[in-house]
Chains A and B, each alone.
Chain A
Amino acid sequence: MADVTPMRTGAETALVDMFPAVKASLPGTAKVADARKAALERFQAVGLPHRRIEAWHYTDLRGLLREAAPIAPAPDASAIASVQSAGDPLGDIDGIRLTLVDGHLVPTLSALDRLPEGLEVTPLATALAKGHPLVDAHMGSIARAADDPLPALNAAFVSDGVVLRVVEGTALDEPIIVRNVLTGDTPAATFTRILLVVEEGASVTLVENHEAFGGVAHQGNSVVEILVGDRSQVEHVRVNARGGNGFDLSTLGVRLGEAATFRSVALAVSPAVTRHQIGVVFAGEGASLSVGGGALLNGSQHADTTLLVDHAVPHGVSRELFKHVLDGEATGVFQGKIVVRPDAQKTDGRMMSQAVLLDDGAAMNNKPELEIFADDVQCAHGATCGALDEDLLFYLRARGLPLPEAEALMLQAFVGEAMELIAHEGVRTVLEGVVESWLRARM
């Protein structure tokens, strides 16, 4: 029987109907406008992904996204002031700060006029409106609208973001910290994007901190594309601490050059629904990748990490470590696929996903896969899922720790293993603090 396309859901209709209303206000040249239209048509043809699409089997976005929130209005002075006065969760870290408020880069909260040598930053809205060589060359080339409804929606509606270029041989001492804040007290949607081009032999740390005020059901769709040049070193850290009832859909696309090093850690704390999808292509030989993350959930929260590591060339090394802590009736999803193409001899890939279930109602769906077409490779994957070890808990309790404290200590260690992947000590400490406050709130 032919698969009948179901009727559009309310959310799908709202997204499609929203486009003509907002397109005139979205930045871009005529070429960008055409690309937006094409991306929307692509979305229109397939709709929101649902459980009958294999990659979305465990995250039925069509069912989960009941209503599409309107696009957040550009921030007024009071919204900007509220961000300024709220304090920066990463405030203790010296960094190059760039701040997006309600989907728009705010120059007064950004270090645009005091950038270190070797770093170029262009607001994405400007780059789209005036044209930009890096946007022309790379935007949408890794996280492709044609392949995936999330980047497609982002390409259609993107309002702003940043284009970052780290010039050949530059070692940036301080991390680039992009705060992405939603201020409104009614649900709003943002579509933001970062393009980071790291040239040969350069090194940089990029931190994205996604925040929201007021625990409102915001809907974020973010895309980050990173070109990691030959022999360059890039660290990427993403924190989603919007909490509340938020939807957080994010796509990270990475292309690794020869002998490049890339590490990425993402932490999600109490989102209503999150999907973090990561695609990494080994385009140059001898690159090394470590990617990991954690999600801390309770209630009926849902977190999905979907990973595709594509070893297209020889001598690549990849390490993946994901940790889920699931309380209440929360659901965790990990889908990880390592592909080793016929030419990619001497690939060394190891993937692990671990989940702790703190309640009978919580569930974890682990789907690790290896697709290996080369013969001289070392690849392994593993997945574990279960309650905390009773004997270890008893040991801690016998030393005087009440049960919630004993659990917190063990969970901190459990999630900490993935946070250890972060090389930047200050950033790692902030993430450990985020984990600790979630655990404290449980006690």
Chain B
Amino acid sequence: MLEIRNLHVQIEDKKILNGLTLTVNDGEVAAIMGPNGSGKSTLSYVIAGKEDYEVLDGEILLDGQNLLEMEPDQRAAAGVFLAFQYPLEIPGVATMTFLKAAMNAQRKQRGEDELATPDFMKRVRAAADKLQIGQDMLKRALNVGFSGGEKKRMEILQMALLEPRFCILDETDSGLDIDALKIAADGVNALRGGERSFLVITHYQRLLNYIVPDSVHVMAAGKVVRSGGKELALELEANGYADYRSQAA
């Protein structure tokens, strides 16, 4: 279970999160919706451990462990996975090399044996097939020259291979056409179950037709201003965020 309590965060003297509190239970898919600039990506980066942000107050606990005291790689090994809103291109680093390095680094931190190459290849093939990721894509440098949709599918592939405990999807729907969106959503839905929890960040309700959430939270000006069930997403779609903008101001 992930618990965020009274989180205050600033960057370069600008306050972005203002006392955000949120709980995501085991196996729960929680959606966060909110206008642009409300701090959704900031929240995802702070959970994952990006260093640019200054946490002024509050805590983030994953199964009782204080994430804020851990390095980003330790958080990853503990099960945090962030599917980036804008996945980065890493020239010169072959996708397969990267995937193997990531999987083995996490295994090593958890005290598990490294994967043998045939086992690794088998896992990658199986996961890539489901996401319609071809061999040609796996042979290229990570994300270099990939289309927006390909980059997002590559994020889901990484998520599938790393088998995280807590997945954050930051606007995975942006830049995807409907077919690509369905492939990505199927990939996510296949990972649902057990204790794995999700935080699905989106500006639009559309994604939530494919990844149906258990709860929906509205974020404005750096905090959660309203929470409800999946029907809340439909209400937001109909009325927009205007109410919350004024409320936050």
Interface residues of A (CB under 8 A from B): 390-392, 394-403, 405-406, 409-410, 412-414, 416-417
Residues of chain B having any CB pair with chain A under 8 Å: 48-52, 71-73, 75-77, 80-82, 84, 87-88, 90-93, 97-98, 101-103, 105-106, 109, 141, 158, 162
CB-based contact B92/A399 at 8 Å: no
Q: Is the CB of B105 within 8 A of A401?
A: yes
- Chain B residue nearest to A406 (CB atoms) is B73
Q: Could you say which of A394, A409, A412, A414 contacts B72, with CB atoms under 8 Å apart?
A: A394
Tell me the nearest residue of chain B to A416, going by C-beta: B92
A177 vs B235: C-alpha distance in the bound complex, in angstroms? 74
Nearest 10 A/B pairs, CB to CB? A413-B92, A400-B106, A400-B76, A397-B72, A399-B102, A400-B105, A395-B88, A397-B73, A401-B105, A413-B93
- How close is A335's CB to chain B, nearest CB, in angstroms? 25
Query: Bound complex: CA of A395 vs CA of B90, how far in Å?
Result: 9
26 intermolecular pairs with C-beta atoms under 8 Å apart = A390-B51, A394-B50, A395-B87, A395-B88, A397-B49, A397-B71, A398-B48, A398-B49, A398-B76, A398-B80, A398-B82, A399-B76, A399-B105, A400-B106, A400-B109, A401-B73, A401-B102, A402-B73, A402-B109, A409-B97, A409-B101, A410-B93, A412-B92, A413-B91, A413-B93, A416-B92
Nearest chain A CB to B200's CB is how many angstroms away? 18
With both chains docked as a complex, state the minimum distance between the C-beta of A143 and any C-beta of chain B, in angstroms.
33
Q: Beyond the given A395-B88, A401-B73, could you list 7 further A-B residue pairs with CB under 8 A, ordered by the A residue number?
A: A398-B81, A400-B73, A400-B102, A401-B102, A409-B93, A409-B98, A413-B92
Residues from chain A with Cβ under 8 Å of B48 in the complex: 394, 398
CB distance from B70 to the nearest CB of A (A): 11
Q: In the complex, A412 Cα to B92 Cα: how many Å?
A: 8
**Complex Cα–Cα for A414 and B91 (A):** 8
A392 pairs with B73, CB closer than 8 A: no
What residues of chain A lie closer than 8 Å to B101, measured between beta carbons?
401, 405, 409
B179 → chain A closest CB, angstroms? 26
- Residue pair B51, A402 in contact (C-beta under 8 Å): no
Contact between A413 and B90 (Cβ–Cβ < 8 Å)?
yes
The interface residues of chain A lying within 8 Å CB-to-CB of B82 are: 398
With A and B bound together, what is the CA distance between A399 and B161 in angstroms?
11
Give the distance to chain B from A382, nearest Cβ to Cβ, in Å.
Answer: 16
Asked, given contacts A394-B51, A405-B105, whether A399 binds B158 with beta carbons under 8 Å apart, the answer is yes
Is A410 in contact with B90, judged by CB distance below 8 angstroms?
yes
Contact of B90 with A403 in the complex, beta carbons under 8 Å: no
Residues of B contacting A401 with CB < 8 Å?
A: 73, 101-102, 105
Query: Hey, which chain B residues are within 8 Å of A405, CB to CB?
Result: 101, 105
B92 touches A414 (CB 8 A): yes
Q: Which residue on A lies nearest to B158, using beta carbons?
A: A399
Task: Give complex CA distance A401, B82 in Å.
Answer: 14
A residues in contact with B93, CB < 8 Å = 409-410, 412-413
Bound Cα distance from A397 to B52, whole angstroms: 14
- Contact (Cβ within 8 A) B162 A399: yes
- Chain A's closest residue to B104 (CB) is A400
A394 CB to nearest B CB, Å: 5
- B192 CB to closest chain A CB (Å) equals 21
Nearest CB of B to A413, in Å: 3
Complex Cα distance, B97 from A391, in Å, reads 19
Q: Which residues of A contact B91 (CB under 8 A)?
A: 413, 417
Q: Are B98 and A400 in contact (CB under 8 A)?
A: no
A414 and B97 alpha carbons, distance in the complex (Å) = 15
**CA–CA, A391 and B52, complex, Å:** 10
Tell me the minimal C-beta distance from B95 to chain A in angstroms: 12
A366 to B82, CA, bound (A): 38
Shortest distance from the beta carbon of A148 to any chain B beta carbon, whole Å: 35
Instruction: Write out the residue numbers on chain B whose beta carbons fall within 8 Å of the beta carbon of A392.
Output: 88, 90
Name B48's closest neighbour in chain A (CB-CB): A398
Instruction: State A201–B20 Cα separation when bound (angstroms).
Output: 73
Interfacial chain A residues near B72, Cβ < 8 Å: 394, 397-398
Q: Shortest beta-carbon distance, A389 to chain B, in Å?
A: 8
A418 to B76, CA, bound (A): 32
* Chain B residues, CB < 8 A from A402: 71, 73, 105, 109
Contacts of A416 in B (CB 8 A): 92
Chain A residue at smallest Cβ distance from B106? A400
Q: How far is the CB of A433 from chain B (nearest CB, A)?
A: 15
Minimal beta-carbon separation of A415 from chain B (angstroms): 9
Q: Specify which chain B residues have a CB less than 8 angstroms from the CB of A395 in the assembled complex.
A: 84, 87-88, 90
Residues of A within 8 A of B105 (CB): 399-402, 405
**Closest A residue, CB atoms, query B107:** A400
